[in-house]
Structure 1
Amino acid sequence: MSGVKIIPIGQPRTVRERLLEALGDLLARQGFDGLSLETVAKAAGFERAVLLRHFQDLDDMVTAFGQSAAFWPPVSELRAEVVDRFAALPPRLQLSHFFKATIRGLLARPRTLDILAWELMSRNRYTRLLEYPRVRCALEFFESVTGEVPDSLDLTAVVAVLGGAAMFLTVRSRQSGVFGGLNLYDDEDRHRVDRVIDLIVGGILREADIR
């Protein structure tokens, strides 16, 4: 026997998911150096030709992984806790909810946090491909914000600063447990961060109103 796995006919989605799972595991363990179709196929237990039946190339595969809920929490997940009352919330609570829900979504994805840690040390086309779905998620979420948001508010900069802080804090909590005396895996510490996010977003909106 050659050791090559027989692909069940009529189950391409199952094989596709297994390939994406292998890619995610590989990125979390080893980062982006040496990433190739061959290394992913080997990690999944398939031949390279099997991978190419489901993805055009490695860029296509990384893009698909980045767009999957296994890597990044979708808008439906971010809004799940408040979906029935989201539209009734004031803008400051809608905005702050995004960052608080993102933190929770990332903490539930330790593999994603490991990949984000590798991103801090390596900048390449694959890290950029993984960024696009995150940007699109933020845009989709904020397009649904209702109420009066001041025109003077630089929402792009707000998302970059607070979103970056959320990712950094979650990565550090994953890597070292505690950062600045806070452990985001601890409920009380996470609630403290939630309260600060509410204060920051509220202050930003008040300042924008004054301008």
Structure 2
Amino acid sequence: MNSLWKQVDDYYNEKLNTMDPVMASVLQANKKAGLPAIDVSPLQGKQLYLLAKLKGAKNILEIGTLGGYSTIWLARALPEDGKMISLEFSEKHAAVARENLKRAGVEHKVEVLVGPALETLPVLEEKGFSDFDFVFIDADKSNNPGYLKWALELCVSGAAIVGDNVVRNGEVVEQESEDEGIKGIREFTDLLSTDSRIDSTAVQTVGSKGYDGFVLGIVEK
């Protein structure tokens, strides 16, 4: 990671108040619980919050909860009667996330469901969860294609879909990569380019999380 990138992140974090005491305590709780430090950065969390606010999101789906850091940013963007479903593979991570959601005072807006997301997604509608207007995909990259397919099925027209970590230090351009995550991102991108139900773009990013990027798409059904 370029040290200047972190300095710029630190500058804007301070100027734009992206790291409040609650969010700082969430990161500390995640660290204490031994969770991997792969949360979105404070600036990226604020970006998710603003994107959901701009969309006027009322019904959010998140794939990949971890300790709930990005979950809280998105839940804060919801109106009081808004709802968010977050899918997490690990029961340990989900337990930490639920405590963090309480710490942030947004637990009444969020339900964390535990299990492999590709097993949970097909039964969401029968459980009464569908018609999502904002989706954040931030789980194992090898399964990104499946996550996108289900997101498109479960979204309403006009929904926003954000896919994180799609550049991977530029490794996404390596056509012959044997990395399952890179393969998943490339297939995910192929689906974005061919499915008429979504119009999307990609943005490269640098900062405290290194060199990466995200995809932003709008569903058009």
Q: Under TM normalisation by the shorter chain, which class is it?
A: under 0.3
Between the two structures, name the one with larger relative contact order (CA 8 Å, sep ≥ 6). Answer: 1
Q: Tell me which structure has the larger Cα radius of gyration.
A: 1
Q: Name the TM-score, length of structure 2 as normaliser.
A: 0.27
TM norm structure 1: 0.28
Structure with the largest fraction of strand: 2
